[in-house]
């Protein structure tokens, strides 16, 4: 594989941006709450951050958006660091082949979610976080700020309140988990933390910086410390590769070949270990709830680079 110099990355993502823009891909902006439905589907931004900390951006890469399920990467990392392999007695590490909010599988698997990126798994993770940290929302915010090396985490109050008003399905899942004794804390409290983490707004540049440590064996050049051990980092990346895009994870691995994570706000983060992290945002989603333009952009990018994980 070619050893890309800093200049090449800027040219590359500018080209990818123009090309994907010109394709006129469409999709459907998330509308399960009115606040997300209001966002213009036209937005499109890409930010790539290399392991020297250079930032390469195109389009709306400085416009904040709702990170939604991308937050599950941060909470998982925090909890994994604390509970270590004990965590895997509460949540499995298998791809699900099911939509992100699927509840059916939970019964077959006796209250052990199939992986930590499904809503059910993420609720277990946020429950574990609640057991460990006094003020979990504040801890999540401080953690992400530190990873990005700047104050950047904002919680969108309107999105948060609206998510709270429409949390029936996630609340049902939490009760179900509790019935299987895989939920320790007050359900309303954990749901509030979960919807708050989903309501965080960040831009592509901030997101790419904050996941940079996953491309760098767990060492964050922005926080200037090892955030996660090298071996734990490899596990998080394996989970992102297998489960980061729900029932489209296989397709993403096939077309892009990088560990990544999507959110229904239209954001995607991905990383090339040893080289860079990247965040792409465009709100129009395909039927699996993943951003059409973001996935296409990453597919073209790894094709152009002639390297991925593989
Ligand atoms: N807030 C959303 C939910 O819990 C997040 C889902 C997602 O981004 N896939 O339903």
Architecture of domain 6-305: 3-Layer(aba) Sandwich (3.40)
Choosing from 143, 246, 249, 277, which is the catalytic residue? 246
Which residue's alpha carbon is nearest to atom 6 within ligand 1? 69
Q: Is 264 a catalytic residue?
A: yes
Is residue 271 within a helix (H) or strand (E), and if so which, with residue range?
strand 267-272
C-alpha distances in Å from residue 229, one per residue of 115, 214, 236: 21, 10, 11
Judge whether 267 and 70 are in contact, CB under 8 Å: yes
- Residue 307 is predicted with a pLDDT of 81
Ligand 1 contact via 101 beta carbon (within 6 Å): yes
Give the separation between CA 271 and CA 147, rounded to whole angstroms.
Answer: 15
Listed as ranges, residues in the chain with pLDDT below 70 are 1-7
- Could you list the beta-strand ranges (E) of 82-151: none
- Residue 309 is predicted with a pLDDT of 87
154-189 per-position pLDDT tens digit: 999 999 999 999 999 999 999 999 999 999 999 999
Report which ligand 1 atom has the smallest distance to the Cα of 122. 4
Ligand 1 contact via 291 beta carbon (within 6 Å): no
Q: Is 163 annotated as a binding residue?
A: yes
77-100 per-position pLDDT tens digit: 999 999 999 999 999 999 998 899
Give residue limits of the domains in the chain. 6-305
Distance from residue 5's CA to the centre of ligand 1 (Å): 37
Count the helices and strands in the chain (H runs, E runs): 13, 12
Complex-level ipTM: 0.94
Give the separation between CA 87 and CA 90, rounded to whole angstroms.
Answer: 6
Q: What does the chain come to in residues?
A: 310
Report which ligand 1 atom has the smallest distance to the Cα of 169. 10
pTM for this predicted structure:
0.96
């Amino acid at each position: 594989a070619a050893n890309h110099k800093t200049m090449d990355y800027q040219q590359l993502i500018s080209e990818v941006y123009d090309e994907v823009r010109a394709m006129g891909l469409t999709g459907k902006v998330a509308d399960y709450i009115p606040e997300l439905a209001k966002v213009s589907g036209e937005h499109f931004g890409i930010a790539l951050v290399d392991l020297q900390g250079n930032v390469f951006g195109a389009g709306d890469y400085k416009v904040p958006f709702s990170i939604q399920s991308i937050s599950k990467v941060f909470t998982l990392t925090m909890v994994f660091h604390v509970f270590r392999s004990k965590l895997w007695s509460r949540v499995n590490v298998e791809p699900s082949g099911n939509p992100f909010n699927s509840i059916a599988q939970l019964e077959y698997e006796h209250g052990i979610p199939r992986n930590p990126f499904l809503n059910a798994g993420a609720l277990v993770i946020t429950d574990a976080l609640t057991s460990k940290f006094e003020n979990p929302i504040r801890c999540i915010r401080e953690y992400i700020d530190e990873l990005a090396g700047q104050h950047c985490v904002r919680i969108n109050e309107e999105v948060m309140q609206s998510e709270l008003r429409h949390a029936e399905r996630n609340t049902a899942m939490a009760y179900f988990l509790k019935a299987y004794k895989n939920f320790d804390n007050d359900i309303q409290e954990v749901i509030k933390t979960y919807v708050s983490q989903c309501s965080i707004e960040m831009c592509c540049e901030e997101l790419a910086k904050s996941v940079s440590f996953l491309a760098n064996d767990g060492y964050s050049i922005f926080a200037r410390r090892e955030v996660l051990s090298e071996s734990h980092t490899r596990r998080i990346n394996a989970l992102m590769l297998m489960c980061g895009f729900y029932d489209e994870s296989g397709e993403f691995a096939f077309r892009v070949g990088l560990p990544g994570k999507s959110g229904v706000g239209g954001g995607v983060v991905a990383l090339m270990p040893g080289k860079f992290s990247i965040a792409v945002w465009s709100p129009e989603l395909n039927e699996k709830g993943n951003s059409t333009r973001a996935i296409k952009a990453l597919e073209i990018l790894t094709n152009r680079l002639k390297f991925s994980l593989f």
